[in-house]
Structure 1
């Protein structure tokens, strides 16, 4: 057996198949965020279906909740049956959810005066299915990318996550440009029907390109057998042209026990709960954080349009810094901290020239979060200071999600990678509500009867708690480094 450089093609894997698989990953990722453009449908549900705000909120929560709790189940499915099955399942859920929602809206008369309880329940269920479709699609793309490029897990994960993050932007652009009439009203039923067809076609195609015999040997930097040479444990390795050393070994990772029996898995879950929870608290409340502070350029009240522009600017800053972080961190992690990888044929590749432990990419985001929270305590007197918070949170959020998959795979093995990664997603499911409700209660306590809380007291206590918690999370990574430095 020999190891070839990245310029050679893997065995039984043509350029066409590689291209189609990559194209499917891109297409799946860019069309999987339909549930995140729900705000476009909110006015229609309120005006045409006469749904109250709590009902509208419940429907979108069903879409969001449909992702987190079922992630371990989806992970187990992908471990057992592969990304092809997940992509086909996503196609089924998306089509059912979107076409049913379209029919529900189109059949409801604009003449009704009271909300239909049955419509509310049905739409809640349909968006729950859309949430399930989202996580199936996400896992199918992420793990297909990991199989295609196992020597570059950080870059593969970062690129896939970046495309997934761009999905709401693309779909909202399509909706606002092609499904809005002259009166600026959204044709929600037609847009949902379009999403149903689009996601069904793309994810069904993905089911074919993600088949096991289609992605049999991935990553051109890996293994190719000599046509006339049998592969044995004593087969020579051409070490001078390969970045890794390979040995026949177990692919169960350095820790053979179940992750839930490993205290370090719980420590990592606590780390994710704190850092991701604090970051998502800021992301979901950046608008009211901005509006709580005065504008340095004027002492008079700002027009609503300018206020909206200020809020939109920070949403864009968060998005751009998050996207850039995923790409840059993925590349740097693979270059500075290559991880031990399980190869498609069952051997383990040990990296060479490891310059630092990958746990440093957990330490830095936690430290950065604590710094930007502390900065807001010291310098958060006007809206001009919030951009540092937005940049810091965006970078940290993207970095953590980019580095997590490779660490989980290297520490607890690739055999149950999907299940283990899915279990870890419960951490933000717990952390985000905790930090978000802390922010909400502190803000409400200092609102003085106003609709929007004004002044730094609206979030000062929340940011002190968040700063301390992120410092604790950063300190905890020292124990990760001591335990995992040989693996990551």
Structure 2
């Protein structure tokens, strides 16, 4: 007799469609903190904030994604994505709303930055960063757990929309909140508070995931029990197609995974994977959060004596934000399906062996290796070749491609090695790596930049809060190139170790 709570196929599909719409909306409106390069020139000009202060505010948002990632993942596993969507609504409304209020009440005629105002701006941006991780997890794991057999496509699609979010928001910023080539920061940030808060509140009512169970088909008319294992949910028929035997019975056993977080941390290869994530994502997020001042450090053209139409800084910065977002998005859209095709996720059979639903052609670690190689080439190109704003497209595209590919491939690697039941928690623990890497690379950039601002002051007696010239970041990208090399070597170690498993 069917359960009273059972849904008709049409109702189940409608419910799934609504869930997918909320997944897309959450992901598309979650990237407000990544538009900081659009905000930073105004904060530098009108609030007189220095480069380390700008970097600290950007970092507050970036690292705000990570301190509670494991806890957020556990909440996802236990309660479901709806709870995190509700938390995102509150955090985005508070973070961006208070950030806009702080800017609005600051006088335009100040001559020195207010340290208390700077501290409050950093705190409010941290709240927005915390809202970003709860939003990111709500959309990512709502997609992954609704489509467990296509985890690469599901996670890649939600991540692609998340990567598209800065582009979407930057287009809104330049279209509706720009006056006389300057961004109205207060109105724009206030708008982000209203948009993100409302969308995620709606998501709290719509994001639901099915309960995963293990289904064992047992032949009862043979002396030897022959069992097969599949992953099912509340929408999946218990017997799909023709059963192994017409008299076969079906026993439903809930999935249990007793692996603790300490078991995860005892695995030395988890630490190698964490090091790769620290070096690669940390350097990527350094570029993402500082692309605005990187633009300001370079001339618009090789010869300043040549008269030509020079695009405003806001337009150049917006272009780089869009390139980062587009490359990030395209990378996620392509890598997810490609990984599912060439590197299908293994199914664990009851006997302890692995079964691949399709031919396994190459390890998923290859995508980590390719991303590390991409970063190595990009950072070396920046270090030795790029000398004008026009050349920054290479930095933005290379960083965006690698950043999107790494984030897309990580959930499937984690689930293949350590299981699906605690995917949210394990992925959250892994994201502590960029929590360390992002401040490490970002403050390296900030203090190298400040050192050369002070050098200009001593030589020319001209004050400038924004560093100008290649020396502002050359050492930073030299060290980032070395970090990418280490990441590439470490990925090759994992490729050899996990051969046949991912």
Sort the TM-score into its range (normalised by shorter chain). Answer: 0.7 to 0.9
- Matched residues in 2 for 1:417 and 1:109: separation? 44
Give deviations 1:98-139, integer Å, cap 9, x for gaps: 555566777x59699899988776665444333222211111
Are the equivalent residues in 1 in contact too, given 2:37–2:291 (CA < 8 A)?
A: no
Query: What is the TM-score of this pair, normalised by structure 2?
Result: 0.75
Of the candidates 406, 414, 422, which is equivalent to residue 408 of structure 1? Answer: 414
The residue that corresponds to 1:23 in the other structure is: 21
Query: What is the TM-score of this pair, normalised by structure 1?
Result: 0.77
The residue that corresponds to 1:392 in the other structure is: 398
Query: What is the CA distance between 1:156 and its match in structure 2?
Result: 1.8
Q: Which moved more, 1:276-285 or 1:261-270?
A: 276-285
Are the equivalent residues in 1 in contact too, given 2:89–2:200 (CA < 8 A)?
A: yes
Question: Structure 1's 413 and 446: CA in aligned 2 closer, same or farther, altered over 3 A?
Answer: same
The residue that corresponds to 2:88 in the other structure is: 90
The residue that corresponds to 1:225 in the other structure is: 238
- Matched residues in 1 for 2:202 and 2:167: separation? 23
Query: What is the CA distance between 1:167 and its match in structure 2?
Result: 2.3
Are the equivalent residues in 1 in contact too, given 2:55–2:290 (CA < 8 A)?
A: no
Of the candidates 269, 272, 277, which is equivalent to residue 267 of structure 1? Answer: 272
Question: Structure 1's 195 and 351: CA in aligned 2 closer, same or farther, altered over 3 A?
Answer: same
What is the aligned residue count? 463
Give deviations 1:289-319, integer Å, cap 9, x for gaps: 5665667763637889447355554443333
The residue that corresponds to 1:144 in the other structure is: 142
Give deviations 1:84-107, integer Å, cap 9, x for gaps: 21112222333344555566777x
- Secondary structure at the aligned position of 2:433 is classed as helix
Question: Structure 1's 437 and 486: CA in aligned 2 closer, same or farther, altered over 3 A?
Answer: same
The residue that corresponds to 1:282 in the other structure is: 287
- Matched residues in 2 for 1:411 and 1:356: separation? 16
Are the equivalent residues in 1 in contact too, given 2:374–2:402 (CA < 8 A)?
A: yes
Q: What 5-or-longer segments of structure 2 have no aligned partner?
A: 1-6, 215-230, 458-463
Question: Structure 1's 397 and 368: CA in aligned 2 closer, same or farther, altered over 3 A?
Answer: same
Question: Structure 1's 135 and 324: CA in aligned 2 closer, same or farther, altered over 3 A?
Answer: same
The residue that corresponds to 1:475 in the other structure is: 489
- Matched residues in 1 for 2:75 and 2:91: separation? 15
Of the candidates 54, 75, 93, which is equivalent to residue 77 of structure 1? Answer: 75
The residue that corresponds to 2:326 in the other structure is: 320
Of the candidates 409, 431, 447, which is equivalent to residue 425 of structure 1? Answer: 431
Query: What is the CA distance between 1:144 and its match in structure 2?
Result: 0.3
- Matched residues in 2 for 1:206 and 1:76: separation? 19
Q: What 5-or-longer segments of structure 1 have no aligned partner?
A: 1-8, 238-246
Query: What is the CA distance between 1:366 and its match in structure 2?
Result: 0.9
The residue that corresponds to 2:226 in the other structure is: none
Q: Which moved more, 1:260-269 or 1:204-213?
A: 204-213
Alignment of 1:166-181 (within 5 A): 166-175=164-173, 177-178=175-176
Question: Structure 1's 51 and 219: CA in aligned 2 closer, same or farther, altered over 3 A?
Answer: farther
